[in-house]
Structure 1
Amino acid sequence: MAERIRTLTGHLVRHTGKKSPDVQNVSGNLSPAVQSSFRYTLENPLKTLTKNQRNFYEENGYLVIKYLVPVSALQSYRKRFAEICNGECTVPGLTVMKDVALAKSSPIQGEKAVVKIQDFQYDDALFQYCCLPQIIRYVENFTGPNIMAMHTMLINKPPDLGKKTSRHPVHQDLHYFPFRPADRIVCSWTAMEKVHRQNGCLVVVPGSHQGDLKPHSYPKWEGGVNKMYHGITNFDPTLPMVHLEMDPGDTVFFHPLLIHGSGTNRTDSFRKAISCHYASTDCHFIDIAGTSQENLAEEVIDLAVKRTGLPREDIQFKDIWTLKSRCVKGEQNHLQGY
């Protein structure tokens, strides 16, 4: 596998030679998780989570922490996003995505043409978000002390052009991940401005993290669907859902099996959020052949082939995820990032 990764890296990534930004050790040495009534959260000497917060996450699969990220940090991420969109800098391995409605018909360029950037793990300016001590303090309650950043995104949900393509179908993030166990994976999702129902806030199905991974596919929407925006097949719309309206800096932590999505942006402004999926380095890659994730893996590999020009047999799904990841804190163990 090492030789495949080196070859793929040469096509996808120009390594900067820099280590991850320093992260303050906010927890000291954590002892192994003790057996308790808690499944989805771990014991933490600093008691970052109250018992009520742990109980809420255990039952619902998500937890919102108010004003966790300062406005000054959000402003720096916004500035860097604009620089990337305007072509003022090049980030190795970064993926820049346009809304399907804009990509087909609009001459709009720059920041207003971009719906999302992802895989910014090699950009130290944006990667600072993944290493914020106040976020890591919470992440450790879900992953333990050895932490990998596995997937990074800055979402720029555009004003909808009438096609409803700005919405995101309800899905489970674990559909995209070839590593387990799911209970040692968590997402931090931070609002960069006020997020509400009108501009397409997150919507979640409380308690759905206690279920299984559902089959996913592209929804058959008349206006089209953005690339990789898979949704749960035959989703039951009568399930109880909660809209997460958030202020700038508010951060929601949620389980990768939590069913969630976001609505149409019915305002005239873009709705920005920044996120990172973390996993314990004790997680391990799995073989997704023959599972509901296999079609997704084939689609991702197809894109990697187009991007690199490498033969298909030289690229494996887990190699791509290895390149996406970067160690944030502690020992790398089984999930070996670049």
Structure 2
Amino acid sequence: MSYNYRYTVDGGTFTDDQRRFYEDHGFIMFRNLVPHHKLDACQRHFVDICDGKVDTGMMTIMKDGSLKKRSDVKGEYLINKIQDWLLDDVLFENYAVDDSIVKVIQNIVGPNVTAAHSMLINKPPDSTEGFSRHPMHQDLHYFPFRPADRIAASWTAMERIDEENGCLFAVPGSHKAGKLYQHDYPEDVENKAYHGVKGFDHIPRVNLIMEKGDTVFFHPMLLHGSGPNKTKGFRKAISVHYADTNCHFIDVRGTSQENIAVEVMELGQKKFGIKASFQDIWKGKSRLICGQPGAFQTFDSHL
């Protein structure tokens, strides 16, 4: 029986079963994929960043809003995310270009790979649920490039992650609807840019329980999110979104993505004092991983 592959590319290293699982579910997990010593290096570097020992350059450092007014909360107990770290050599070398990750990604986006977005997400203890959880959403909401099928996330547990400390949950197969839903701020979510969808709470979902080094790869149209950290420990994960270097950029004005575009451009202008298009901001955040450069390596100030 023939199988109509859409979400993976020919000539990769996936087995038939792995390829079909990703096609059908919109995600696939590989156990103990990333070496622990690399994650330990990322962990130490994250703590140094939180303690102000590292020049953060163009990174975005985000504090937990429910904790930042407390004088006794500092460092990794306060920082809940760093993103845009692709120019940081420690994180880039230990994670973004890890051979085991890139080999999986090439099964999905092809041989020419750009790292488009980067995050190290920390759920500290004692945060409120409104800051700690991430509502159900689709990552494509944030991206002004297409096609969606040539974009994929890698998301790696830096420690055990389960329902108690805020694991990922996903709606298997939801990527196949082929629809980018309206995203807004849910009433009970306080984190900046944590947009979410409404009306999907009744849909069955699966919790992705992960051990240190386990890595899940998923499609940008997959409905997913994460719960709050209810423990007295941390919940750390590191993630990169990869794309085919030849993805094309779109104008999101007049679409459901316009709200996030305005928000990102305002934040960019506030941080750097430069007015840049939504598209050029994303190009500036990216870094070539392998293969031939493409649209991500050109800038179009008129967009």
Does the TM-score normalized on the shorter chain lie above 0.5? yes
Q: Closer, same or farther in 2 for the Cα pair 1:162/1:288, shift >3 Å?
A: closer
Aligned equivalents of 2:282, 2:101: Cα separation in 1? 22
Matched, 1:103 2:68: yes
Residue identity over aligned pairs, in percent, reads 51
Report the secondary structure of 1:240's partner residue: coil
Are the equivalent residues in 2 in contact too, given 1:159–1:266 (CA < 8 A)?
yes
The one of 14, 20, 24 equivalent to 1:49 is: 14
Aligned equivalents of 1:104, 1:315: Cα separation in 2? 32
Across the aligned residues of Structure 1 and Structure 2, the Cα RMSD in angstroms comes to: 1.5
Matched, 1:336 2:258: no
Deviations 1:207-243 (A, max 9, x none): 111121000011101xx511111111x2321101000
Alignment correspondent of 1:130: 96
Are the equivalent residues in 2 in contact too, given 1:327–1:337 (CA < 8 A)?
no
Q: Closer, same or farther in 2 for the Cα pair 1:90/1:135, shift >3 Å?
A: same
Aligned length: 296
Listed as ranges, the gaps of 5+ residues in structure 2 are none
Aligned equivalents of 2:232, 2:150: Cα separation in 1? 38
Alignment correspondent of 1:284: 248
Aligned equivalents of 1:198, 1:101: Cα separation in 2? 19
Report the secondary structure of 2:20's partner residue: helix
Listed as ranges, the gaps of 5+ residues in structure 1 are 1-34
Aligned equivalents of 1:277, 1:260: Cα separation in 2? 15
Matched, 1:144 2:105: no
Q: CA deviation at 1:105?
A: 4.4
Matched, 1:177 2:138: no
Amino acid at match of 1:37: N
The one of 187, 191, 209 equivalent to 1:220 is: 187
Matches within 5 A, 1:1-338: 37-44=4-11, 47-105=12-70, 107-128=72-93, 129-211=95-177, 212-221=179-188, 224-232=189-197, 234-310=198-274, 314-336=275-297
Amino acid at match of 2:108: F
Are the equivalent residues in 1 in contact too, given 2:147–2:248 (CA < 8 A)?
yes
Aligned equivalents of 1:91, 1:329: Cα separation in 2? 25
Aligned equivalents of 1:227, 1:152: Cα separation in 2? 17
Are the equivalent residues in 2 in contact too, given 1:116–1:154 (CA < 8 A)?
yes
Query: TM-score under structure 2 normalisation?
Result: 0.94
Are the equivalent residues in 2 in contact too, given 1:325–1:337 (CA < 8 A)?
no
Amino acid at match of 1:132: D
Q: Closer, same or farther in 2 for the Cα pair 1:302/1:164, shift >3 Å?
A: closer
